[in-house]
Amino acid sequence: MTQSQRRNKGTNSKGGCSTCKFRHVKCGEEKPECVRCTSTGRNCAGYENLSQSQLRQRVTRFNPRPSPGTDTRMVLIPGTREEREHFHLFCTETIQSLSGFFGSELWEYYLPQISQSDVAIRHAITAISAAHRRRLQAPTGREPPHPFELQQYNKAIHHLLNRPSVTSQHTLLACSLFVCLEFLKLNFEPAMEHVEAGLRILCQRQQHKVSSQLPPDVDRDLSQFFSRMNLQISFWARPLSPYEAPVEPRSTEETAFASLTEARAVLNQLMINSMLLIRLSMRVQQYQPLVPDHERQRCAEMQQQLERQYDSWWVAFERMKKRLSRSKKRAPDPRAILVIQVHYQTLRFWTLAVHSTNEMVYDGFNNEFEKIVGWSEEIKQLSSADHQRPFLLETDVAPALYLTARKCRHPLIRRRAIKLLEHRPIQEGLWNTKESSAIATYTMELEEAFLAHLPVEQRVPEEQHRLYETRTMDLGLCNPCPVEFVWRSKDGTDLEFRTEFVSW
């Protein structure tokens, strides 16, 4: 080593401060603190004649190492290498399948963040990610769970059961995660039971006016998630929970919504009310001779009220869209707006037609069917650059397209609806789109059986050939699946049933 490469230590002073002695640098010996220490941001450890080990102890005490910061942008992810890989997959891939086109504080920020300190949440997230990876590799979801997936699920259960104390917030978060996991595993009955458990907790909290300990945005997302799940499971003969997710009050029903989140929440409650009306109307029609007049009157009043509320919602929604178009803030995903419009149009026309026992009434809703299919085609076009996801936690447009394919007898519109269904993700919540498109196709073939000699655009079935109802409770687990097709008798007083097995 040359002289120029050597460190210039200077002359060590035996009378220097402890810090400079320990660093082997020249000390200016200023009192009470030397300039070399204060000019470099160090604490001067004083002037004592100490050994090297004593100097180390003294300097360490005066100049402690900085503790890790609380900046959440820098996180050391706990767990094994495999667990960390699946956590990364959750953040980059799985979250998009859980939140869809809508942003979510719950899925995108809070759960990944809290999983760093909550072991049960972390293992549940890892199990979800492992199940999602399996679905990416085998989109039908019929492959058996991997040992790692089962291991993470068991660890999550173990840590949940061994908590010293469990709050309702912890239970709600666990319910939401297990809903996701059971959906991915195609275990729909346990998934719906977790939804109902979460709704019961929210009902009790609302009744007893218990405030949540979660951050406000996270609590809002969690409450509205369970409210949407309430509507989704009601399509599969589950009772509707009385829970109503809280929504910020507005001055009038037609005041513009403050955000897409608010518009979505208000619409969801309207759709739940529509489902209540639909069920009440079905009961009235089923037991018509025995139903008292006040029940029929109640149905009529509910329908009129809902029609007014849907119209007011649309005015507020359009005003919100105009405001968003002028705003300099980041606009929401246009597909999210289209999905909400599809939901609105579907439940509105269903509500207006709820009392009719004549299938011909749906011919008056071809404009609404055209909008549903047109908006769904726009979503498909906007999503053309995205890779096809085999799974979505919540429904986008699959139920609307299925209802359109069944109730719209315009031959071209219904065929467009079926084609769109075939290109949707395989699973939207509880809906298997491959099964739904196969049932819709078979329904169309049954209704048009006497019209096969005509050009496609002229195949509009007569009333006596139209199916009144199509029932399946298979939830996409059987192939072929049993389907019950229902016709009205020629005089319209009785129902005729036929069960077929439809392959998809």
Write the pLDDT tens digit of every residue in 169-187.
Answer: 889 999 999 999 999 999 9
Please tell me whether residues 229 and 130 are part of one structural domain.
yes
Residue 151 located in a structural domain:
yes
Residue 123 located in a structural domain:
yes
Please tell me whether residues 147 and 38 are part of one structural domain.
no
Residue 24 located in a structural domain:
yes
Q: What is the mean pLDDT of residues 468-488?
A: 85
Please tell me whether residues 309 and 215 are part of one structural domain.
no
Average predicted confidence (pLDDT) for the chain: 87
What's the pLDDT band for 57 if we cut at 50, 70, 90? Answer: low
Secondary structure element (H or E) that encloses residue 392, with its range: strand 391-392
Residue 443 located in a structural domain:
no
The answer to which of 87-91, 129-133, 289-293, 316-320 has the lowest mean pLDDT is 289-293
Q: Which domain holds residue 328?
A: 255-332
Q: Which residues contact 486 (CB under 8 A, 6 or more apart)?
A: 467, 468, 469, 470, 471, 495, 496, 497
Please tell me whether residues 136 and 98 are part of one structural domain.
yes
| Cα torsion 105, 110, 111, 113: sign | positive
Count of the separate structural domains present in the chain: 3
For 468, other C-beta atoms within 10 Å of its C-beta total 15
- pLDDT computed for residue 191 by the predictor: 95
Residue 368 located in a structural domain:
no
Please tell me whether residues 130 and 205 are part of one structural domain.
yes
Query: Nearest CA to 465 among 450, 485, 484, 483?
Result: 450
Residue 387 located in a structural domain:
no
> Does residue 350 surpass a pLDDT of 90?
yes
CA separation for the pair 468, 490 (Å, rounded): 12
Please tell me whether residues 105 and 233 are part of one structural domain.
yes
Please tell me whether residues 184 and 125 are part of one structural domain.
yes
Q: What is the mean pLDDT of residues 66-93?
A: 72
Please tell me whether residues 131 and 205 are part of one structural domain.
yes
Please tell me whether residues 97 and 160 are part of one structural domain.
yes
Please tell me whether residues 161 and 262 are part of one structural domain.
no
> Does residue 74 surpass a pLDDT of 50?
no
Structure tokens at 110: 């809070």
Final residue of a structural domain among 188, 206, 239 = 239
Final residue of a structural domain among 239, 266, 293 = 239
- pLDDT computed for residue 346 by the predictor: 96
Query: DSSP assignment, residue 244?
Result: -
Please tell me whether residues 282 and 147 are part of one structural domain.
no
